[in-house]
Amino acid sequence: MMAGVMIGICSLTILDSVGESTKRETMKRFKNMLGTFDTVIIRPGSGKTRGMVSLTNVPPTLKFEDAAAIAAELPEVKQVALLQNAFDIDVKYKDKNVSPAIFGVSANWLDLRGDELAEGNIISEEDIGSLARVAILGSDVLPLLFPEGDALGKTIRIGDVPFQVKGVLAQRGAGPGGGSLDNLILIPVTTASKRLFNRDFLTMVIAQLRDPEKSEAAVSKITALLRQRHHIAVSALDDFTMTSPQAVMAQVREMGSALSTILKGIATIAMLIGGAVIMSLMLISVSERRKEIGLRRSVGANRQDILLQFILEAALVSSIGGLVGIALGLGGTNLVARLEHLPPVLSLQALESAAGLSVGLGLLFGIYPAWKAAHVDPVKALGT
């Protein structure tokens, strides 16, 4: 009887933790990838681009002038950040050679994305204006080019163009797909456009909104402005795509909640099976303890006494099984978290619910066997 409840409570504890930790880790990775949630991401193309955008897989429809117009003409937009990136550029330092993502970014990129520096300085407006050949290394690139860790002030070659290392990014971890977000190098977007890539279009514009609650109105105005600037006919499709991180995160939360619900449903089924085991074994117990029941009735116990006895027995057994299940669940939660490289999440509310459910299972599934025991005929019971 204890084992049935124990398995159910243990399953509930582990699956609830796995569901919650998976949801939090997914949210964290999306936050790392998308940056702040008060933004709108604008990409060239009509939504057919797959994978990470780059200069090789987007049409040249989103210009520097478009970004400037969004920032200047729309009061709903607080600021815009620019991106021009590629993934097929070799980076060299002495005899070492790597091919990280090269991000040409505006001076406000780090601030808007929420990234931090481990050391050095950020790309400044002066760097943007002077087309400075400076670079900030991602934390995955640093040990590959500079195993000794001393990179500031050193000169690397990006596509045979010399750049001086100005800073090193703090580690960001993995994105939603599991890929590293630290295998990149940041350089000024103007330098990337005119000295490295020789391209006059952007791969992404991030518009930060003054009031995230009015994001739909802001998206409509950005859409209207870009369609006007690109001379798109009324019946034609947009030649750009806009994404709201808030909408993406809402979908992630919804999927995470659905996953948690499914996992909790599985655990609930396991507990119901444990409850059925309690009821079945208690019915067998009532049959085997008929003489005990008859003896108690013959010395003065009434039906309520017998009913209370068996209900308390069921509640006690299921409570002990629940406590053991919670203990095993806590251990299992840490083990699963370690194996799956997830942060262990132990919800006090979930533990309280598990403890309450274990008692409730005993009471619920012990009522019918207790009722059967209370209605045993003492004369027949003692005569058998």
pLDDT on residue 166: 95
Is the pLDDT confidence value at 267 over 70? no
H or E element, residue 120: strand 117-120
Is the pLDDT confidence value at 35 over 70? no
* Residues in CB range of 237: below 8 A, 6 or more apart: 46
Cα 144 from Cα 138, distance rounded (Å): 10
Buried/exposed 172-197: b ≥16 CB within 10 Å, e otherwise: bebebeeebbbbbbbbbbbbbbebbb
pLDDT winner (highest mean) among 39-48, 89-98, 236-245, 364-373: 89-98
Entry pTM: 0.61
pLDDT winner (highest mean) among 118-122, 265-269, 328-332: 118-122
In three-state secondary structure terms, 93 is: strand
Cα 39 from Cα 78, distance rounded (Å): 10
- Residue pair 59/45 in contact by the 8 Å Cβ criterion: yes
pLDDT on residue 346: 67
- Residue pair 199/61 in contact by the 8 Å Cβ criterion: no
Over residues 346-361, the mean pLDDT reads 71
Is the pLDDT confidence value at 120 over 90? yes
Over residues 322-342, the mean pLDDT reads 79
Q: Give the number of other CB atoms < 10 A from CB of residue 377.
A: 12
The pLDDT tens digits of the residues spanning 132-186 come to 999 999 999 999 999 988 899 999 999 989 999 999 999 887 655 556 788 999 9
H or E element, residue 269: helix 245-288
DSSP sequence for 6-53: HHHHHHHHHHHHHHHHHHHHHHHHHHHHH--SSEEEEEESSS---SS-
Categorize the per-residue pLDDT at 111 as very low, low, confident or very high, splitting at 50, 70 and 90.
Answer: confident
Query: What is the percentage of the chain residues whose pLDDT exceeds 90?
Result: 32
Over residues 40-67, the mean pLDDT reads 80
Query: What is the percentage of the chain residues whose pLDDT exceeds 70?
Result: 83
Over residues 266-272, the mean pLDDT reads 71
Categorize the per-residue pLDDT at 302 as very low, low, confident or very high, splitting at 50, 70 and 90.
Answer: confident
Torsion-angle region of residue 300: left (phi > 0), alpha (psi -120 to 50) or beta? left
| Vertex 73: Cα angle to 67 and 76 (nearest 5) | 90
